[in-house]
Chains A and B, each alone.
Chain A
Amino acid sequence: MSPNDIRTAFLEELVKVAPDIEPDTVGDDDHIQEDLELDSMDVLNLVTALHVRFGVDIPERDYPQIATPALAVTYLAKAG
């Protein structure tokens, strides 16, 4: 997957968790909790969805590495 494909897939899963987010308005450095206001249950649901989609088991200590679209693209590209 190209970084762009990964970004698109990440945003698709993000929007499923928080359907009021418009993917076009999400910036690369937007923090999913501080800027997009996901709570811990949302983050867990996102991690669960990414696990299913990418086959990547994101341990809790790695959560900070998927905290923004830019970070997540790097992390998922490396892990996938």
Chain B
Amino acid sequence: MGVFAMPSLGSDMEAGTLIEWLVKPGDAVKRGDVVAVVETQKGAIEIETFEAGRVHQLQAKLGQKLPVGAPLAVILAEGEDAPTETAGLVPEKAVPGTESEPPAAASIAEPAPLVRQFHTAPIPTSPVVSRSGDPVASPAARKRAAELGLDLSTIQGSGLGGAIQLTDVENAATKAPASPLPASVAEKADVTSSPADEMRRAIATAMARSKREIPHFYVNQTIDLSPASQWLEATNADRDPVNRILMGALFVRASVLAAGSVPTINGHYENDTFSPSIPVHAGVAVALRGGGLVAPAIVDADKLTLDETMDAMRDLVTRARAGRLRGSEMTKGTLTISALGETGAEAMSGVIFPPQVALVGIGAPQRRPWVIGTSVEPRNTVTITLSVDHRVCDGRQAARFLAKFETSMQSPEAL
């Protein structure tokens, strides 16, 4: 028998709000199945179970904000009898409450509740409801509704499939009565920060911890990008858009190959101990429109071809934008790759995501003079900066990573 508890989805996470159950009592589950969706500072995350069996009881209710470790459900192993006294299952550190009262929820005063909590009440008549139970609305509409204190479930959407657009919110605002806010919501509105604020706070916590605990050092190298650019151009010319590859996928693939040969930059550092990882779970920093970023991992990236790596990145970016990442993707990363994109600054010395021990920062490609033999030619170049945890790794190993990366990028057809 297992208690399915609120997982930690990062060192900075204290609590999450249960927004959707994807199972019900009696359902069979296997290891890795998504059983619930939890709203965190970094958006909605799908939570997987790590025990197989049958769902016996759902203990947490939708809309509850629960601390990490609080029990959410009881999962019985196949063939196991149901316990007679379920109250005894609740771990001691959580305060057992009545059914309508979330255990230990009262102890979480900060951070302020997410905007999403405003409409966790049943939404009986809403025409369009997403998987999470919220009405479908554009992020701009969602933001504006929160600013105005409007409940999205009361607004009729005019967008595709009844999705609520910004104009619908503006229209609803002009029609709303003079004092539309229930007192409880009005009170909360003063102290509630937006999802963007919550995201900023999560980044601040993780990055401050990183710079406090991890003695960073940096090595960088500018490499000739021309072979990769030319190969990519020729390869994509024969492909439909859906099968094209981005330079970013080559950077991820080259990083994964280099990580495979320099074990001291790939893994986790916890409790004063470094645990190298044999698989490379490549964290990919994804900037979110509207601000903030997340760095979900491509799990087992070392087993993927270049095309599969590209597919995985596309999937990850799409789900990151839609707020549909999985818990394992948020915690498994063993090395993060962060690229500035096609234009902009030429180099970036990034901050390592704890508990990882290195980060690959990739600048925007630049046209630069390049010495070949005794002549100088204009070439596309890119500067790679490896941020490294000095508790684990030294300069020589870090430099070896860059050398390996450069070698891979000179033979893109072998990536």
Contacts and interface: CB of A to CB of B under 8 A. Distances in A.
Contacts of B314: 41, 44-45
B237 A22 contact: no
B140 A22 contact: yes
A19 interface: yes
B140 A20 contact: yes
Contacts of A57: 240-241
Nearest to B314: A41
Interface residues of B, number: 27
A32 to B, nearest CB: 12
Interface string A28-39: 000001000101
Counting chain B CB atoms within 10 Å of each CB, the highest count among A20, A37, A45, A48 belongs to: A20
A40 B240 contact: no
Contact of A40 (B139, B246, B318): B246
Contacts of B318: 45
Contacts, number: 53
A47 B314 CA distance: 14
Give the interface SS of chain B, mostly helix, strand, loop or mixed: helix
A59 to B, nearest CB: 6
Interface string B84-110: 000000000000000000000000000
Nearest to A39: B341
A60 interface: yes
A41 to B, nearest CB: 5
A20 B242 contact: no
Nearest to A37: B289
B341 A40 contact: yes
B165 A48 contact: no
B241 A19 contact: no
B158 interface: no
A58 B246 contact: no
Given A20-B140, A22-B140, A41-B313, A51 B244 contact: no
Contact of B165 (A22, A37, A41): A22
Contacts of A47: 241
Interface in B283-321: 287, 289-290, 313-314, 317-318, 321
A9 interface: no
Contacts of B289: 18, 20, 37
B246 A44 contact: yes
A41 B248 CA distance: 9
A5 interface: no
B325 to A, nearest CB: 15
Contacts of B233: 60
A51 B240 contact: yes
B294 to A, nearest CB: 14
Contacts of B242: 48, 51
A44 B241 contact: yes
Nearest to B142: A20
Contacts of A44: 241, 244, 246, 314
A79 to B, nearest CB: 13
Interface string A45-59: 101101100000111
Given A44-B241, A57-B240, A60-B233, 5 more contacts: A19-B139, A22-B140, A24-B167, A48-B242, A50-B241
